[in-house]
Amino acid sequence: MNDISGLNFDEQKVDKLKELQESGVLVYPWEYARKDHAAEIKNRFSDISHDKSEEAVSVAGRLYTKRSHGKTVFADLGDESGKIQLYIRKNDLGDDAFSFFAKNIDVGDIVGVRGHIFRTKVGEISIWVDEITLLSKAICPLPEKYHGLTNVETRYRQRYLDLITNDEARSIFKTRSKIISKLRSDLFGSGFMEFETPTIQPIYGGANARPFTTYHNYLDQKLYLRIAPELYLKRLIVGGFEKVFEIAKNFRNEDIDTHHNPEFTMVEIYSAYADYNDMMSLTENLISGIIKEAAGTSEVTFEEDTINYAIPWRRMSMEEAVLDAAGIDIHTQTVEELREHAEKERIEGWEKAATPGEFLVLFFEHYVEPTLIQPTFIYDFPIENSPLAKKHRTKPGFTERFELFIAAMEIANGFSELNDPLDQKARFEEQDARRQRGDLEAQMIDYDFINALGYGMPPTGGVGIGVDRLVMLATGQNSIKEVILFPSMKPIRFGEGESEEEGSD
């Protein structure tokens, strides 16, 4: 059935298609005058009896089942809104049309149907079919109806097949669309303006991450896919826009796991004359409203936990969180003592840490982060790992930065934005020195951004929220691949044991 190109054509279906085309049948027409949808019909005719409706309907969609009983066929047609049963009789279609349907229209094909509504003896609202038209011949078989598409790899690689056969998958992506729509409308309602910034950039920045690189032949220049839109959006604040956001595709050359995909979606939001306290309040209001609308409740189950999104949410400084969880106060211990503890506990990254602030972050990630199930803001980060955040107004060595954690995942990251050009230059230079020493995630120096700050940026609060992880929370999915339509996957190498999903009518 499969050739080396990976096509899943069914030879019998291909032969049938060719026969139809050779006989002059229009197998792939250009349009169909559909007036109705399955769900809308069921709602409109919810009181229908066993008698046929006077009103006729016309629907179109995929044929999911076909059950023959001699001169009568029951079938299920599905469109975007749902499924509806078809009742097809030879006496109604006529001999030729019924014979054509029985012989040439198969499960998986897309058809148009005209008829009247009635309720069957078992109480199911159905279409009593007067006319059925082939709109698209499917020559790849659907998976067996009782088991569906069970191969997870195939579900991700062939998302179109997953969507055809999996109602839950369609529901997830409908919810994703609604979440993005509400996110956008809520921000518009709060006076924010949406902008688009470059995806291909001469200097990557706005986060600590490895970029994807490319090359522009005409410019004779190496370029990078953006890792964040931050530095461009803050240029807009310099230029006079006061409340800006972008729902952006970002790209980071990092590992793939249940929480990470190299291509992902974030919303970044910046508000002039605000600080990180304002952005925490904005974040909890946005997310709590989105979750409640998407899930219909403020309490949503994620894996084994019930998460309560009712506000206000807990807020803790990073120092308080580490002290509560591990009893470690970085201010009362020497760097050597902190190092000894980290080494003894085999805390990942201890070899590279050299300051109390760097050890604080390691202890937080090890002891605290896995425990943050309910929505929790962790604020006041060490300056060492916050090159774009403003120095704390009362705590030397710290910045006004926060991260939001839900279900032990980082969902948002925000700052009182650094707007001192000299301080920013020094931070970039320190990052560049790290990069020169081999830190592949350290940031480059963006002199044009420093120059922009030189013209004056007002006090500004900013936050980035992970849209994919937000959808995970709203839909109860524990893998990011379940909420990204076409996630990054290892390439298929045919002939090397790659498992493929087989299908049948």
Helices (H), 105-229: 152-157, 159-165, 167-189
DSSP state of 210: P
Task: Write the pLDDT tens digit of every residue in 5-45.
Answer: 568 899 999 999 999 999 999 999 999 999 999 999 999 99
The string of pLDDT tens digits covering residues 44-63 is 999 999 999 999 999 999 99
Instruction: Say what the pLDDT of residue 147 is.
Output: 59
- State phi, psi for 244 to the nearest 5 degrees: -130, 155
Residue that the structure tokens 């059935």 belong to: 1
Q: Which residue has the higher pLDDT, 490 or 135?
A: 135
Predicted pLDDT of residue 139: 96
* CA dist., res. 153 & res. 168, Å (int): 17
Across the range 102-109, mean pLDDT stands at 95
Query: Which tokens sit at 295?
Result: 């899930």
Dihedral pair phi/psi, residue 464, rounded to 5°: -115, 135
Give me the mean pLDDT over the 264-278 stretch.
Answer: 98
**CATH architecture of the region 170-313+374-482:** 2-Layer Sandwich (3.30)
Token look-up 């148009």 returns 112
Burial class (CB in 10 A: 0-12, 13-18, 19+), 172: buried
| Residue 244 scores a pLDDT above 80 | yes
In this structure, what DSSP letter does residue 3 have?
-
Which residue bears the tokens 């012989």? 103
- Longest Cα–Cα distance of the chain, Å, equals 91
Residue 465 one-letter amino acid: I
Residue 467 in tokens: 């849209």
**How far, in Å, CA of 326 to CA of 488, rounded?**
37
Quick: pLDDT tens for 310-324. Answer: 999 999 999 999 999
The CATH number of 11-144 is: 2.40.50.140
Residue 420 CB neighbours (<10 A): 13
Element at 16 (helix H, strand E): helix 11-22
Average pLDDT rounded to a whole number, residues 150-179: 93
pLDDT of 501 above 70: no
Span 67-93, pLDDT tens digits: 999 999 999 999 999 999 999 999 999
Cβ-contact 438, 445 below 8 angstroms: no
Name the residue ranges covered by the structural domains of the chain.
Answer: 11-144, 170-313+374-482
In whole angstroms, give the CA distance from residue 381 to residue 239. 28
How many Cβ atoms are within 10 Å of 1's Cβ, its own excluded?
13
For 411, the token pair is 């969902």
Chain position carrying tokens 């629907």: 59
Phi, psi of 335 (to 5 degrees): -60, -40
Dihedral in degrees, nearest 10, Cα atoms 337, 339, 340, 346? 150
Alpha carbon distance 273, 264 (integer Å): 29
- Mean pLDDT, the chain, rounded, equals 93
Residue 483 structure tokens: 């909420």
Integer Cα distance of 102 and 104 in angstroms: 6
> Which phi and psi (to 5°) does residue 367 adopt?
-95, -35
Tens digits of per-residue pLDDT, 360-406? Answer: 999 999 999 999 999 999 999 999 989 999 999 999 999 999 999 99
If you ran DSSP here, which 8-state letter would residue 455 be given?
A: T
Give the pLDDT of residue 390: 97
SS (HEC) of 309-360 = CCCCCEEEEHHHHHHHHHCCCCCCCCHHHHHHHHHHCCCCCHHHCCCHHHHH
Structural contact between residues 173 and 485, judged by C-beta atoms closer than 8 angstroms: yes
Q: At 491, is the pLDDT very low, low, confident or very high (cuts 50, 70, 90)?
A: confident
Alpha-carbon gap, residue 251 to 306, rounded angstroms: 32
* Region 406-422 average pLDDT: 98
Start-to-end CA span in the chain (Å):
14
Query: What gap in Å lies between CA 488 and CA 105, rounded to an integer?
Result: 35
Number of H helices, E strands in the chain: 15, 18
Q: Which of 368, 379, 382 is nearest to 323 (CA)?
A: 368
- Band of the pLDDT at 343, cuts 50, 70, 90? very high
Q: How confident is the model at residue 496 (pLDDT cuts 50, 70, 90)?
A: very low
What is 83-121 written as a DSSP string? Answer: EEEEEEEHHHH-HHHHHHHHHH--TT-EEEEEEEEEE-T
Whether cis (ω within 30° of 0) applies to the bond prior to 421 is no
